[in-house]
Amino acid sequence: MSKNLGNLMRQAQKMQEKMGEMQKQLASKTIEASSGGGMVTATVNGGQELVSIKIDPAVADPKDVDMLQDLVVAAVNEGIRRSKQMVQEEMSKLTAGLGLPSGLF
């Protein structure tokens, strides 16, 4: 029985190492999302951090700041959503065949 426990512990340690490597790789990957037909584009990395934001000068109307703010929020939120989806897909690949419940990561 202790042999099985030792094997399980080694497998868990290998999985933890692989997950750490994957997290580093994902932090360097980026996802772009835009709103307003491309007027605002947000770039988010695999760590769900906003890396950059691009705003078309045509949408920067001082009389309609509310619209610009809404477009920025929409683009950033979509970027974060896509980043989370990317992470979940990559983690699913890593944990395939382990019988872990979906949505764990």
73-90, pLDDT tens digit by residue?
A: 999 999 999 999 998 888
Q: What is the mean pLDDT of the chain?
A: 87
CATH of the domain at 33: 3.30.1310.10
Q: Tell me if 36 is assigned to some domain.
A: yes
pTM over the 0.85 mark: no
Q: How many CA atoms lie within 13 A of 46 on its CB side?
A: 16
The confidence score (pLDDT) of residue 42 equals 98
How far apart are the C-alpha atoms of 32 and 42, rounded to whole Å?
A: 6
Task: Please state the domain count of the chain.
Answer: 1
How far apart are the C-alpha atoms of 52 and 42, rounded to whole Å?
A: 6
Q: Tell me if 21 is assigned to some domain.
A: yes
Side chain identity, residue 93: K
Of the candidates 54, 28, 58, the residue with the CA atom closest to the CA atom of residue 40: 54
Q: Tell me if 101 is assigned to some domain.
A: no
Flag residues of the chain having pLDDT under 70. 1, 97-105
Residues spanned by the domain of 17: 2-95
